[in-house]
Amino acid sequence: MKYLYLLIIISVFAACSPYAKTNKVYKKQAKEYSKLLREYPVKDSAGLLYADTWVGTTNFSMRRPNFVVIHHTAQNSCEQTLTTFTLPRTQVSAHYVICKDGTVHHMLNDLLRAHHAGVSRWGNNTDLNSSSIGIEIDNNGTDSFSVQQISSLLVLLGRLKRAYNIPTTNFIGHADVAPGRKVDPNRTFPWQRLAEQGYGCWYDTAGVQLPADFNPMQALRIIGYSVKKPESAIASFKLHFVPSDSSLTITDEQKKILWSLQKKYE
């Protein structure tokens, strides 16, 4: 009887959750997508000579993420971000939201496509939404990130890297994939600490000798940056690797940084 009473209390609490309605919407949408997955290939009007009988392969699996893109929320609280991500009109989302106290909200199944990267590019990948996990960290865009947030982030990155075999080079920021359009996570974000744990790359310029024909823009492109707008690419590179410098010129020392990184990304 005591256990039945406890279950009733839990059920009532869940029903009273401020996100009870949006959670139902999530389940409904997921159910609709599951119907699509159960459909056998449908003949279209492409003019192909389709076979009369359908033969379904037995060898397939779910597509898996290959990148992690880290953001700051640019909002004033975790609650505000959760609200934003549960309003249909905003059309924005992420797989995870990490609050200042380190609490992690897993808002979307890792194998589903979140709307977090927008118009983006990294190397030859022009649709990061379709190939990445989006992680939003509660931060107004200027504050430092809390110890609890980074601690939770590192644990989460470890789980994602192991679960999906994500390459070290594929842990990146929103500003990296959207130079000139986005600046998150901000300059206080500890990219070097992440790299030391195996999530992203860092540089080592000790003993670096630049080749005579070294091309900084080519190095940026090899790393992954879109160099369509060179100044934007430089700004995003510095935000990630040289956050103390907001200028749009590349110094000799920074050329060494680029060369060191280029060798890691080649």
Q: Which residues are catalytic?
A: 136
Tens of pLDDT, residues 137-165: 999 999 999 999 999 999 999 999 999 99
Task: Count CA within 13 A, CB hemisphere, residue 231.
Answer: 3
Contacts of 173 (CB under 8 A, 6+ apart): 69, 70, 71, 184, 185, 189, 191, 239, 240
Q: Which two tokens stand for residue 247?
A: 């200028």
DSSP per residue over 12-47, as a string? Answer: HHHHT-TTHHHHHHHHHHHHHHHHHHHSPPPP-SS-
pLDDT for the residue numbered 77: 97
Cα-Cα end-to-end distance for the chain: 64
Is residue 4 scored above 50 in pLDDT?
no
Grade residue 227 by pLDDT with cuts at 50, 70 and 90.
very high
Let me know: does 56 contact 113? Beta carbons within 8 Å.
no
Question: Domain segments of the chain: what residues?
Answer: 61-202, 203-266
d(CA 52, CA 38): 20
Task: Indicate the class that CATH gives domain 61-202.
Answer: alpha beta
d(CA 256, CA 262): 10
Question: What percentage of the chain has pLDDT greater than the value 70?
Answer: 92
pLDDT for the residue numbered 53: 84
Question: What percentage of the chain has pLDDT greater than the value 90?
Answer: 81
Tens of pLDDT, residues 175-211: 999 999 999 999 999 999 999 999 999 999 999 999 9
Grade residue 45 by pLDDT with cuts at 50, 70 and 90.
low
- CA 27 to chain centroid, in Å, comes to 23
- Helix (H) / strand (E) element for 106: namely strand 104-106
Mean pLDDT of 210-239: 97
Q: Give residue for tokens 């090899």.
A: 222
